Structure 1
Amino acid sequence: MRRKIFIIITIAGISNVLQAQEIPGKLSGGLESNSQYYIDDKATQAKAPRDKVATNSYFTLNYTLKNFYAGVQLESYLSAMMGYPEGLKGTKLTHRFAGYRTDKIDITAGSFYEQYGNGFVFRSYEERQLGIDNIMDGVNVRFTPLKSIRFKASYGLQRVLMDNGEGIVRGADLELDLLDLLKVKHNWGVTIGGSVINRYQKYTGPDDDFPPGVNAYSGRFRLTHPHYNLDMEYVSKSADPTDINKNIFKKGSLLYINQTITTNKGLSADIVFRRMESMEFRTDRTQKDNLAVLNYLPALTKLYTYSLPNLYPYAAQSMGEIGGKVDIFYHFKRGSALGGHYGTKLSLTASLYRNLDTVRLKSKEGFSAEFWKLGPTELYNDVNVSIERRWSPLVETIVSYMNLRYNQGYIQGPGFGMVNANIAIADVLLNFDRKNSLRVEMQHLWTVADEKNWAAALLEYSYAPGWSFFAGDMINYQSKKIHYFSAGGAFNYKEARVSLSYGRQRAGLLCVGGICRMVPAYSGANLSFTYNF
């Protein structure tokens, strides 16, 4: 323990000394530390672990000098907070990299993040709230000989928990801006691109036909205009037997189509379609949950920030789903009958996802499915309407109503059924002056399924520039009648922020950016500190 503390203090001390001596170049970084204290809670049946104090900490240090850059990240889990993978433990230097960057080339050796296209075949990224950090360890090259030609090549091992995994990853990506390349001046833009990824993991089992290597190919097309955008990508993946798909030899595919339409009349729309089949893609075929995931498959539904809609969040079904989402936005102008003095924003969102229409096969392929046919099982369906309006310098409101159908048994596992719920939300912001504001949030969910009706309320008070406080509660008042309360505050001063809260966490899916993980129920206090320099 003393050695771990010494490492952190030493690195922090070195950074201060280097800055004090005004060495050439630029030094930057930050510290983030999140601690929780757990207690037993009879109401929620949450049990505190033996070690009632858990801390996740991250210290980053980056250095740049002209075209050269380097950095490290130290992580410490003493012990990891509840809900994070059990393999995150101890203290270790998880990132270390150095690179050279010019206008035409960028070469990184060591740890690197990268994404090809929309990420459907390859994306390495970090999301600390979900315990995800699948950074690569190897060599990454970005080459831009012309503004209209962008090439990437990657090679390395993927991080799995605190070490590198077994699977070797090799990939390349090329993107061309055709009209710019042909020197055609036009307000339209046409971009084509393609990616290839190979993952190799040694196999020592008895099946001679088992593929140790898996290949994924992607082709994409993008059309851009001030009033219209079209983004299309198609992915083909070779057979990839894993523990999750019960070792079937099923090839994967994905089709993604996204259209965005804007007008000068205040109207805009975003339309997304996606069909995917057998797109589970990991560097370690034995892992599950969010571990060793090589590609990025977020749920393409509306991302809700309110608590009650997030009781039933959709999680993308990598083995098979077909569906999409439509967002329509309209801005009523100032001075109009519906716009009022400040204008009014109206949004309408609808999404629908079903499983694939599959037929079981006796061969190793496992199943087949018609490409365009919807499956018999509804996975998720929601319709949401929201009106945002500023009534005066003092008052702003957001009123929302949604209906959702959530196949809880299919998404979360056996033992659940279909949830049909209606949710109403009122969000009022009172700006008393430049320093003081109060936000009041009221929510209600109606359903006869699962835990039946819910009610929720939240108060947030802010005193600029540094202070904020909140208190909230939600209760399933027709079933278990448990109050999931929370209260706390935060203080910001320059580059530092400290927050303290106390409350209950409900067990269920936690989703960030369309990616989800299961979290257990727990009760207790949380202390967080961040500092950037």
Structure 2
Amino acid sequence: MIRKNPRLLTLALATLVAGTAAAQEPQKGYLTGSFETNTIYYRDDAKTNATAPDDHFGSNNFLKLDYYRGKLAVGVQMEAYLPVLQSFPTELAGTKLTNYYVTWQDDAFSVTAGTFYDQFGSGLLFRSWEDRMLGMNNALMGARFIYNYKNIVAFKAIWGLPRLGMEFSETQVRGADLSFSLAELLKWNNTSLSLEGSVLSRYEKIPQDLIDEGGKPNSEGYSGRIYFERSGFSLKAEYVDAGKKYAIDPEVSQDGDIYLQKTGSAQLLELGYNRNGLGISLSGRRLEWMRSEITSNGNLKSSSANLLNYIPAMCTQYTYMLTNLHPYTAQIGDAVYNNSGEIGGQADIFYNFKRGSALGGKRGLKIHANFSTYYTLHKEGTAKAGKLLYRDISIDIEKQFTRKFKAVLLYSMQEENPSYGRKSATRLQNVFVADLQYKFTPKFSTRLELQYLTTHEDEKDWMAALLEINFAPSWSIYGSDMYNNGGSKIHYFNAGVSYARSRTRIALSYGRNREGLLCSGGVCRLTRAYTGANLQITTSF
């Protein structure tokens, strides 16, 4: 019965939760909400080969409302794509009430019915989240139960259907997460130590010919984790068995499909130290067939898919234009790229020279360095490195020279494999950035970015500049240009103005945007080149 109509069970649970909470919580409630719109008017641009849609418009809109009354919370989210912006999933179309939930939370436990977001551990096994910039929303429609006993034992159980576009898929996800804190049990004051574990089961339709080859619609995964922290030192370790993965073998061409049947796995180790102005973070990670996708009715050929876990690119997440020209994104378990996994890690070091020290001077000095590198797996089931996927060595220095003038200087050497391991060839680039900020008065300031990228590969050298003028607390004006002086000779210019007041921000801009990867939190999507005007409004109440 659950498989035939799971939404009916969700509605029944929501009604039960709301009725129970309303009977126990007579106090006055309150409403909060937010609205966001991102609207673009597109134009054809012969220089960049950007083409506008027929009606020249795209608009992504979100309205979220949450009502709280004592231990009860009720919320809805409406989305309108009129139509969806270019490069976003085409399954996002029209206007619909996409998310809705009811939660009742006591001191020790909570129950949720409807849509919810959550994750187990680092998210490698399971994570549901929303990122509007990427068009990412894989909320679960179902039920969740959470119990916490004196912060010693925390237990979580979930069941639901992952979101896919504007609907919810027929895939069923069931899972449980358990955390046990030895530090809380033994009353340690300066030490944190916890053991955690998760299990996740999914039921998904698969093609009959895959069943004939031994595939099963059910798959189970699990993870084990340990967290330790004491006197500035920290350790995090996680092992994940993600269960069976299926993909169509792109190397075989015949009348029927030949399927790859693999087992996903991951190992993650993070060591850290943070004390007396020094921060050191060392991490190592091995991934194999870890991309967990929800497809449309089990159709492995379908372009309609959504993620069920979180695989960030563990390297420096830059904010400057040229450092993000070729960002790294993990392609794990991708049959098209013939890349079963990766192994690598990063070292991140930060030091704050105190005021009055030899290097710190009157106002201190901050230095940050990062080294990250990742390789393909030489052979499945091993930890031997194969072809280089990505390498980045960077250092940035931040110095407040006077009360009015601050500068950030950054250098990054990036080497990447554009074929994601299909070939050995890599491309190398060096990026230099100067970020200069000057405050004329408490309300009037400017920021100037000067950037240069030099390389013998791809499109050769680039240069970029940005000037930002701020009139606190409301107005900001900027203009930028990214110019491919070594290749196409194209100017990717942008100019805009924004106004903020209280909880509302309005921004209007116009310019050219280059084709490439747009990333958020280490997860990326490919965007087409476009030229046009962009209106963004965000408000909350």
Using the size of structure 2 for normalisation, the TM-score is 0.89
Q: Determine which of 298, 310, 333 is the counterpart of 2:324.
A: 310
Q: Assess if the C-alpha contact under 8 Å between 2:41 and 2:56 holds in 1.
A: yes
SS in 1 for 2:510: strand
Following superposition, the deviation at residue 202 of structure 1 comes to: 2.0
- Distance, in Å, in 2 between the alignment partners of 1:57 and 1:243 is 36
* Cross-structure match for 1:336: 357
Shift of 1:531: 1.3
Would you say the 8 A contact 2:484–2:490 is kept in 1?
Answer: yes
Q: Tell me how far 1:288 sits from its aligned partner.
A: 7.4
Which consecutive residues of structure 2, in runs of 5 or more, have no partner in the other structure? 1-26, 251-257, 334-340
1:527 aligns with 2:538: no
Which of 13, 30, 46 is 1:42 aligned to? 46
Q: How far apart in 1 are the matches of 2:123 and 2:89? A: 23
1:7-156 equivalence runs, <5 A: 24-156=28-160
Shift of 1:179: 2.4
Letter in 2 for 1:131: G
Task: Tell me the distance in 1 between the aligned counterparts of 2:187 and 2:540.
Answer: 45
- CA drift at 1:283: 2.7
- Structure 2 Cα separation of the partners of residues 202 and 503 of structure 1: 45
1:203 has 2:206 as partner: yes
* 1:283 and 2:297 are equivalent in the alignment: no
Quote the residue 1:12 is aligned against: none
In structure 1, the residue matched to 2:336 is none
For 1:66, the aligned partner's letter is G
Q: Distance in 1 between matches of 2:175 and 2:138?
A: 16
* Match for residue 268 of structure 1 among 267, 271, 279: 279
Contact between 2:280 and 2:349, CA under 8 Å: does it hold in 1?
yes
Matches for 1:158-307 after TM superposition, within 5 Å: 158-181=162-185, 183-206=186-209, 207-208=211-212, 209-243=214-248, 247-264=259-276, 266-284=277-295, 286=300, 291-307=305-321
1:495 paired with 2:503, answer yes
- List per-residue Cα deviations over 1:446-498 (Å, max 9, x = no partner): 00111000000000111011000110000111110000000001001112111
> Alpha carbons of 1:398 and 1:126: their partners in 2 closer, same or farther (altered >3 Å)?
same
Q: State the secondary structure of the residue aligned to 1:448.
A: coil
How far apart, in 1, do the equivalents of 2:69 and 2:165 lie?
31
Q: Secondary structure at the match of 1:349?
A: strand
1:484 corresponding residue in structure 2: 492
SS in 2 for 1:166: coil
Q: 1:180 to 1:194 in 2, by over 3 A?
A: same
Equivalent pair of 1:357/1:369 in contact (CA under 8 Å)? no
- How many residues align structurally? 496
Give the C-alpha shift of residue 419 in structure 1: 1.4
Please give the alpha-carbon distance, in whole angstroms, between the structure 1 residues aligned to 2:93 and 2:243. 35
Partners of 2:189 and 2:148 lie apart in 1 by 22
Question: Which residue, 521, 525, 532 being the options, matches 1:517?
Answer: 525
Q: Which residue number in structure 1 is paired with residue 253 of structure 2?
A: none
Distance 1:109 1:186 in 2: 37
Give the corresponding residue for 1:439: 447
1:292–1:82: structure 2 CA closer, same or farther, 3 Å change rule? same
Q: Which runs of 5+ in 1 are unaligned?
A: 1-22, 359-367
Q: Per-residue deviation at 1:441? A: 0.3
- Does 2:434 correspond to 1:429? no
Give the deviation of 1:51 after TM superposition. Answer: 1.7
Percent sequence identity over aligned pairs: 40
Question: Does the 8 Å CA contact 2:91/2:304 hold for their aligned counterparts?
Answer: no
The residue that corresponds to 1:7 in the other structure is: none
Query: Following the alignment from structure 2 to structure 1, what is the Cα–Cα distance between the partners of residues 474 and 301?
Result: 43
The whole-number CA distance in structure 1 between the counterparts of 2:158 and 2:510 is 44
Distance 1:287 1:166, change over 3 A: farther
Partner of 1:323: 344
Mapping of 1:437-476 within 5 angstroms?
A: 437-476=445-484
Residues 213 and 331 (structure 1), Cα distance of their counterparts in 2 relative to 1, 3 Å cut: same
Q: SS at the partner of 2:261?
A: coil
Deviation, structure 1 residue 409: 2.0
Structure 1 length as normaliser, TM-score? Answer: 0.90
CA contact (8 A) 2:146 2:155 kept: yes
Measured in 2, the distance between the counterparts of 1:464 and 1:176 equals: 47
Q: 2:371 aligns with which of 338, 350, 357?
A: 350
1:287 is displaced (CA, Å) by: 7.1
From 382, 385, 390, the equivalent of 2:400 is 390
Partners of 1:218 and 1:392 in 2: CA distance: 50
What do you get for the CA RMSD once the two structures are aligned?
Answer: 1.7
DSSP-derived class of the 1:305 partner: coil
Alignment partners' CA distance in 1, 2:381 and 2:114: 41
Contact 1:290/1:517, CA 8 A, preserved across alignment: no
Q: Which amino acid in 2 is paired with 1:344?
A: L
Q: Secondary structure at the match of 1:179?
A: helix
Give the Cα–Cα distance (whole angstroms) in 1 for the partners of residues 410 and 122 of structure 2: 30
Counterpart CA distance in 1 for 2:425 and 2:508 is 37
State the Cα distance separating 1:502 from its structure 2 match. Answer: 0.1
Q: 1:290 to 1:454 in 2, by over 3 A?
A: farther
Distance in 2, Cα, partners of 1:322 & 1:288: 29
Aligned match of 2:419: 409
- Please give the alpha-carbon distance, in whole angstroms, between the structure 2 residues aligned to 1:315 and 1:269: 23
Question: Contact 1:169–1:283 at 8 Å: present in 2 too?
Answer: no
Residue deviations 1:194-233, cap 9 Å, x none? Answer: 0000110123412331121111100000001131010110
Distance 1:180 1:441, change over 3 A: same
Q: Deviations over 1:213-263 (max 9, x none)?
A: 111100000001131010110001222213488731211110001111123
Secondary structure at the counterpart of residue 451 of structure 1: coil
